[in-house]
């Protein structure tokens, strides 16, 4: 085993490791497996912050937030017998991976439902705010809300939002920018909406909860456009995100028409525990036991068929803990949430990178319990999410090289992503231009009755969803000079995505240096756990 070669950035608590001659090799995610790579001397490896300690008593923290809300009266004081209340909760896209039981939504719902019952409020519906995501299965819902809520409310008073149900959607008006505001009818007709969310990254929560979670296609298409994505620098920085601005305008119209009490929960970044806890560490700090765990896991994963590897990862929950809960009016509660999120996720980094390396994992917000991270989702993880994990200034220079590690297999889940299959095989060979795709094909997919049927009654993402994923990557496509994939199991998928291939990371870095120069600054973003860079 090599000796420790890490050092901490001067004047900062954040672990920025510069690779030295004697540094340990680094572990990178490679889909449902890992790569162990020796990085060139001088490479900067950026690690996430250590997890902030969870609150000692989550129930007490949530109760305190409900009784001491920001900018609103305490929840109990707004409750009256006979009133109509709708509780909305985030769907399975958060947190990633799924957290251990009890899910934070279960804890929150138990408290809120008990409070409602104590005040004689019986007309209560709980809506999973799926927006245009797939419907959650009964098993997934039960795991998320817990047995008590499940037994009391499923299925008549606990169900998935249906953005394509014309009888249960209502238009509330338009924003001053002309964006249509459409929401769930039951929510709109309620005396009070209680939205319970999970904040994993700064783009979650706030006005997005109601404005997106309970909206329909006609409303979402106002801001899920290539233009709004390109104008968002970045999604993780709401003040500089055109997408966030549009969502905020829509959210304000919602709040003018509906009384919404927000419950925002902030989780720490303790993504891995137990047999995978070595992934929370800097490799230079690994003990013999950590290396043994890693090599054992890698040996087993190498031997397993693909489906088994996926199943194992999907069934390994994260060890997230509640670090804060704020409640009340949207803006003041969300401001506190953002401050706490930034404390957990932001890492100060000096200077941009010419070459950015990132391992792409098995999971995204859109493939929980799916059979694969399909090529469109690999694209969105690389260009949409990982590239944009910054505030203010991008970590990768404009025109820089992004190196990702993923097999990029031509695998799709036909149950969850049927329209992705047509998008990838029929549209991308014709054009990869997001603006052209939006103009020519988005509505065709969105109004395809088969995709609507699969969204409403199966477990498929909405027909337009692959378009949004492609737009999500548009800014990255415009800013990044070259994307190089390491470890792709085929050349077709990377070519269709406009990417180059390399067999090894060394080869990819050499390719990157041939573009950016021999002295190119090479950085590795070591996530998950999630991190956001503050580049000075």
Q: Contact residues for other proteins (CB under 8 A)?
A: 164, 166, 414, 418-419, 421-422, 425-426, 443-444, 447-454, 456-458
In terms of CB distance, is 326 or 423 closer to other proteins? 423
What is the C-alpha to C-alpha distance for residues 458 and 300, in angstroms, rounded to an integer? 34
In sequence order, the β-bridge partners of residue 263 are 196, 327
In terms of CB distance, is 217 or 272 closer to other proteins? 217
In terms of CB distance, is 133 or 475 closer to other proteins? 133
Q: Name residue, tokens 């820089």.
A: 400
Closest to 34 (Cα-Cα) out of 276, 389, 388, 307? 276
* Cis? peptide before 97, omega within 30° of 0: yes
In sequence order, the β-bridge partners of residue 359 are 405
> Do 82 and 191 meet the contact criterion of CB atoms below 8 Å apart?
no
Neighbours of 491 (CB within 10 A): 13
What is the C-alpha to C-alpha distance for residues 151 and 147, in angstroms, rounded to an integer? 6
In terms of CB distance, is 315 or 426 closer to other proteins? 426
> Do 419 and 448 meet the contact criterion of CB atoms below 8 Å apart?
yes
Q: Name residue, tokens 């769907």.
A: 91
In terms of CB distance, is 57 or 439 closer to other proteins? 439
- Runs of H (alpha helix) within 184-241: 185-188, 208-213, 217-220, 226-230
Residues with Cβ within 8 Å of residue 439, at least 6 apart in sequence: none
CB of 309 to other proteins, least distance (A): 23
How would you classify the pairing of strands 192-199 and 180-184? unpaired
> Do 368 and 98 meet the contact criterion of CB atoms below 8 Å apart?
yes
CB of 414 to other proteins, least distance (A): 7
Q: Name residue, tokens 């001491």.
A: 68
- Name the DSSP letter for residue 108: H
CB of 185 to other proteins, least distance (A): 17
CB of 451 to other proteins, least distance (A): 7
In terms of CB distance, is 331 or 410 closer to other proteins? 410
CA 291 to chain centre: 29
In terms of CB distance, is 81 or 155 closer to other proteins? 155
Extended strands (E) in 152-299:
158-160, 169-174, 180-184, 192-199, 260-267
In terms of CB distance, is 414 or 504 closer to other proteins? 414
What is the C-alpha to C-alpha distance for residues 131 and 426, in angstroms, rounded to an integer? 26
In terms of CB distance, is 70 or 422 closer to other proteins? 422
CB of 183 to other proteins, least distance (A): 19
In terms of CB distance, is 150 or 420 closer to other proteins? 420
CB of 452 to other proteins, least distance (A): 5
Phi, psi of 297 (to 5 degrees): -60, -45
What is the C-alpha to C-alpha distance for residues 168 and 214, in angstroms, rounded to an integer? 11
Closest to 304 (Cα-Cα) out of 15, 13, 33? 33
């Amino acid at each position: 085993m090599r000796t420790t070669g890490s050092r901490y950035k001067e004047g900062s608590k954040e672990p920025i490791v510069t690779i030295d001659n004697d540094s340990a090799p680094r572990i990178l995610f490679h889909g449902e497996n890992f790569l162990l790579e020796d990085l060139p001397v001088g490479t900067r490896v950026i690690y996430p912050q250590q997890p902030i300690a969870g609150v000692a008593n989550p129930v007490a923290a949530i109760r305190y937030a409900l009784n001491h809300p920001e900018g609103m009266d305490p929840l109990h004081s707004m409750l009256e017998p006979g009133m109509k209340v709708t509780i909305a909760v985030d769907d399975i896209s958060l947190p990633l991976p799924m957290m251990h039981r009890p899910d934070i939504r279960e804890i929150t719902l138990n408290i809120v439902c008990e409070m409602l019952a104590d005040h004689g409020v019986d007309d209560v519906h709980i809506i999973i705010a799926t927006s245009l995501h797939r419907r959650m299965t009964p098993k997934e819902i039960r795991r998320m809300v817990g047995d008590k809520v499940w037994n009391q409310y499923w299925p008549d008073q606990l169900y998935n939002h249906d953005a394509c149900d014309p009888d249960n959607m209502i238009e509330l008006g338009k924003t001053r920018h002309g964006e249509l505001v459409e929401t769930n009818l039951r929510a709109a007709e309620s005396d009070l909406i209680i939205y319970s969310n999970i904040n994993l990254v700064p783009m979650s929560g706030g006005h997005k909860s109601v404005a997106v979670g309970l909206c329909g296609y006609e409303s979402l298409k106002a801001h899920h456009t290539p233009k709004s994505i390109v104008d968002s620098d970045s999604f993780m920085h709401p003040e500089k995100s055109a997408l966030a601005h549009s969502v905020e305008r829509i959210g304000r119209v919602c709040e003018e028409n509906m009384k919404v009490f927000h419950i925002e929960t902030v989780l720490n970044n303790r993504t891995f525990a137990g047999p995978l806890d070595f992934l929370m560490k800097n490799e230079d700090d690994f003990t013999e036991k950590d290396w043994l765990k890693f090599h054992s896991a890698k040996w087993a994963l190498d031997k397993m068929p693909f489906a088994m590897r996926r199943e194992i990862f999907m069934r390994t929950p994260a060890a997230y803990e509640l670090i804060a809960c704020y409640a009340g009016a949207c803006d003041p509660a969300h401001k506190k949430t953002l401050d706490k999120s930034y404390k957990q996720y932001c890492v100060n980094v000096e200077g941009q990178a010419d070459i950015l390396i990132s391992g792409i994992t098995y999971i995204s917000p859109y493939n929980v319990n799916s059979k694969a991270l399909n090529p469109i989702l690999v694209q969105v993880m690389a260009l949409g999410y990982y590239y944009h994990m910054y505030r203010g200034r991008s970590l990768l220079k404009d025109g820089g090289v992004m190196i990702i590690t993923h097999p990029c297999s031509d695998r799709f889940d036909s149950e969850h992503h049927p329209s992705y299959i047509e998008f990838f095989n029929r549209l991308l060979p014709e054009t990869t231009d997001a603006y052209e795709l939006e103009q020519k094909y988005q509505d065709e997919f969105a109004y395809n009755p088969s995709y609507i049927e699969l969204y409403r009654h199966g477990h498929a993402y909405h027909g337009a969803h692959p378009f949004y994923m492609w737009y999500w990557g548009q800014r990255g496509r415009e800013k990044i000079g070259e994307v190089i994939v390491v470890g792709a199991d085929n050349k077709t998928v990377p070519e269709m995505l406009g990417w180059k291939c390399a067999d090894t990371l060394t080869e990819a870095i050499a390719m990157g240096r041939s573009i950016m120069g021999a002295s190119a600054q090479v950085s590795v973003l070591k996530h998950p756990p999630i991190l956001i860079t503050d580049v000075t």
